[in-house]
């Protein structure tokens, strides 16, 4: 019989697996057992609508010292020939891509990643799989001695389900593979890795696992490592979770939840490819692997499961989406998770900030989307950088406001340093005001959506009504504006369509000029919007603000508008303002020529 080849990426992984010097070989058992358990989950679910498929669920372990084989048998859903071909001949898992990227840098990855079925080759030089799909008559045998390929042929396997026979490698200086045939080794490994598996794992006449699902246990009864192991197994992460939320919720609707916050955002998290969702169980039976309806988008980074006896087992996926109980769980869960986040923020600031660096944008989106429908529920979970060089919540900002300070001030820019260097910011910092530094494209949109916090308005430092200026200064400014009205209108004439207005400001101290916007779209928002397709024509109403007390303006004002220098100075000031705002200049060659001319 001709051998079939593994798909290219599987072959690569297999090579790694077989030749790996990885020491933690024992995880093969955990991987294979969890496949058995998944397969039983599937048949269990099928049996709900087809009673003839019901059985007494179990996973059997049978070591045979004389044949040097370890056999695992489950009475799960089994596989058809095609499924064997597809599932065992390739690695279909989404983690594969990530694996391939990381493989070069981290040798230990094989053990950290759930690489599933292939891990059998870490301990076996030959693997034989017999399987009969539930409800089918034919059984098939799959066999492989490693990277050179595999065979599939019909066979007479009488039971429904799957049997995997591992022909263990000969002992060598690296590893005594024969130990995986000893009862005490197997018992230890099952206790360590698979204790929470919900079906009995039987060796001889003994059941090795305690079978209480992890999420039914109290959080205090479960070790941190157990949660971490469960998380890594189930969600194919190689890092421990950053946080575990576990609870039994009782009330209008009863459910257990076990939810994890990953340490790092998956590489595709902020893309359309990412699929959010929690696994949904009913009374311990898996109904749906990834139920998107259980999580709002802004908490989509969380992984985990919900188990509720209140959900009807016989429900189809289409109906599930409309199910009232499911809606009720989703509502309750969202609230619960928000309050867990709030607790986290209070009790472990450093950990929360680390999480926020990964998923903060997701939370901000939550406050923004649907016209801010959830902004009040989410606003206290948000953090923003502040001019005091730390991250602050709105509440912390409000508590630190100076006497007489009415508004919450913010400024946008690429970094806190760049924002603190903005000319408009200087007078605020001089007064001892803290400034929220908006660094992400989405930030200003979120702030505008939230509008105010605790009655305090969010005001941009670029806003002409920002109150850093006293009434006295305002009066003085009005007078100067009158005095210089001719100069200002000449400047505006020269700049033409580039600006909506040129005016004097009392808000600048050492800087000569700044650029602000007179419309609802700020310069920073314009940058974000411009990066999106279909945004032509969207622009901020630019205003060039000039510091009347700056020597450059004093010089300009002494010139006759007919003097060529008047136009040169005006353009130089305008371009300087663009550069300060990190905006592109209109014509860099012309600007360069102008600078040289002015020397």
Binding site for ligand ADP (CB under 6 A): 31, 35-36, 39, 74, 76-79, 87-88, 93, 116-118, 162
Q: Which is nearer to ligand ADP, 38 or 396 (CB)?
A: 38
Report how far residue 465's alpha carbon sits from residue 289's, in angstroms, rounded to the nearest whole number: 54
Report how far residue 503's alpha carbon sits from residue 547's, in angstroms, rounded to the nearest whole number: 9
Q: Which residues contact 377 (CB under 8 A, 6 or more apart)?
A: 338
Q: Which residues contact 231 (CB under 8 A, 6 or more apart)?
A: 237, 240, 241, 244, 260, 303
Which of 123, 121, 167, 166 is CA-nearest to residue 147?
A: 121
Cα-based torsion angle of the residue sequence 358, 360, 366, 371 in order, rounded to the nearest 10 degrees:
-130
Distance of closest approach, residue 576 Cβ to ligand ADP, in angstroms: 58
Q: Which is nearer to ligand ADP, 72 or 523 (CB)?
A: 72
Q: Which is nearer to ligand ADP, 13 or 425 (CB)?
A: 13
Distance of closest approach, residue 92 Cβ to ligand ADP, in angstroms: 6
Distance of closest approach, residue 22 Cβ to ligand ADP, in angstroms: 17
Q: Which is nearer to ligand ADP, 262 or 423 (CB)?
A: 262
- Rounded to the nearest 10 degrees, the angle between the axes of helix 485-495 and helix 471-483 is 70
Report how far residue 264's alpha carbon sits from residue 246's, in angstroms, rounded to the nearest whole number: 20
Distance of closest approach, residue 179 Cβ to ligand ADP, in angstroms: 23
Report how far residue 179's alpha carbon sits from residue 170's, in angstroms, rounded to the nearest whole number: 11
When CB distances to ligand ADP are compared, the closest residue is: 116
Distance of closest approach, residue 110 Cβ to ligand ADP, in angstroms: 13
Distance of closest approach, residue 119 Cβ to ligand ADP, in angstroms: 8
Q: Which is nearer to ligand ADP, 79 or 242 (CB)?
A: 79
Report how far residue 145's alpha carbon sits from residue 6's, in angstroms, rounded to the nearest whole number: 12
Report how far residue 263's alpha carbon sits from residue 231's, in angstroms, rounded to the nearest whole number: 11
Q: Which is nearer to ligand ADP, 15 or 440 (CB)?
A: 15
Q: Which is nearer to ligand ADP, 79 or 253 (CB)?
A: 79
Q: Which residues contact 474 (CB under 8 A, 6 or more apart)?
A: 506
Q: Which is nearer to ligand ADP, 122 or 491 (CB)?
A: 122
Q: What are phi and psi of 45, to 5 degrees?
A: -65, -40
């Amino acid at each position: 019989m001709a051998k079939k080849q593994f798909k290219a990426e599987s072959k690569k992984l297999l090579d790694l697996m077989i030749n790996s010097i990885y020491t933690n070989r024992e995880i093969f058992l955990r991987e294979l057992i969890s496949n058995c358990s998944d397969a039983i989950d599937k048949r269990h679910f099928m049996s709900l609508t087809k009673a003839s498929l019901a059985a007494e669920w179990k996973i059997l372990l049978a070591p045979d010292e004389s044949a040097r084989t370890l056999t695992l048998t489950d009475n799960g859903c089994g596989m058809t020939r095609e499924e064997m071909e597809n599932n065992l001949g390739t690695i279909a898992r989404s983690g594969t891509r990530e694996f391939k990227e990381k493989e070069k840098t981290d040798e230990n990855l094989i053990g950290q990643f759930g690489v599933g079925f292939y891990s059998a080759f870490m301990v076996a030089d030959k693997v034989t799989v017999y399987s009969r799909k539930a409800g089918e008559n034919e059984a098939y045998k799959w066999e492989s001695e490693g990277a050179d390929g595999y065979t599939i042929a019909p066979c007479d396997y009488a039971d429904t389900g799957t049997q995997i026979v591992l022909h263990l490698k000969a002992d060598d200086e690296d590893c005594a593979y024969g130990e995986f045939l000893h009862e005490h080794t197997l018992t230890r490994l099952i206790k360590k890795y698979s204790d929470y598996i919900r079906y009995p794992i039987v060796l001889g006449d003994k059941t090795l696992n305690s079978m209480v699902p992890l999420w039914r246990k109290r959080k205090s009864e479960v070790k941190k490592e157990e949660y971490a192991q469960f998380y890594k197994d189930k969600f194919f992460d190689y890092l421990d979770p950053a946080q575990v939320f576990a609870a039994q919720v009782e009330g209008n609707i009863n459910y257990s939840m076990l939810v994890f916050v990953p340490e790092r955002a998956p590489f595709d998290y902020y893309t359309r490819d990412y699929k959010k969702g929690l696994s949904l169980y009913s009374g311990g039976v898996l109904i749906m692997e990834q139920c998107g309806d259980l999580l709002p988008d802004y908490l989509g980074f969380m992984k985990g499961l919900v188990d509720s006896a209140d959900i009807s087992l016989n429900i189809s996926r289409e109906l599930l989406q409309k199910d009232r109980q499911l809606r009720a769980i989703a509502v309750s869960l969202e609230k619960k998770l928000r309050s867990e986040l709030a607790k986290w923020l209070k009790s472990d600031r450093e950990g929360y900030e680390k999480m926020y660096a990964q998923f903060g944008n997701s939370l901000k989106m939550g406050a923004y989307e649907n016209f801010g429908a959830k902004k009040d529920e989410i606003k206290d979970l948000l953090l923003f950088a502040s001019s005091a060089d730390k991250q602050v919540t709105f509440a912390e900002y409000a508590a630190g406001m100076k006497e007489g300070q009415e508004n919450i001030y913010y400024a946008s820019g690429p970094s806190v340093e760049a924002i603190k260097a903005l000319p408009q910011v200087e007078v605020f910092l001089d007064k001892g005001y803290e400034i929220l530094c908006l660094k992400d494209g989405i930030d200003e949109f979120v702030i505008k959506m939230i509008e105010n916090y605790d009655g305090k308005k969010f005001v941009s430092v670029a806003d002409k009504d920002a109150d850093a200026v006293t009434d006295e200064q305002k009066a003085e400014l009005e007078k100067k504006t009158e005095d210089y009205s001719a100069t200002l209108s000449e400047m505006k004439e020269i700049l033409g369509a580039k600006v909506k207005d040129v005016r004097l400001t009392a808000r600048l101290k050492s800087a000569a000029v700044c650029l602000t916007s007179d419309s609802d779209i700020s310069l920073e928002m314009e940058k974000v919007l411009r990066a999106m397709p279909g945004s032509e024509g969207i622009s901020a109403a630019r205003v060039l603000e000039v510091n009347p007390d700056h020597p450059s303006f004093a010089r300009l004002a002494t010139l006759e508008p007919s003097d060529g220098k008047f136009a040169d100075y005006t353009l130089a000031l305008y371009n300087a303002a663009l550069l300060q705002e990190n905006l592109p200049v209109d014509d860099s060659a012309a600007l360069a020529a102008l600078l040289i001319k002015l020397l």
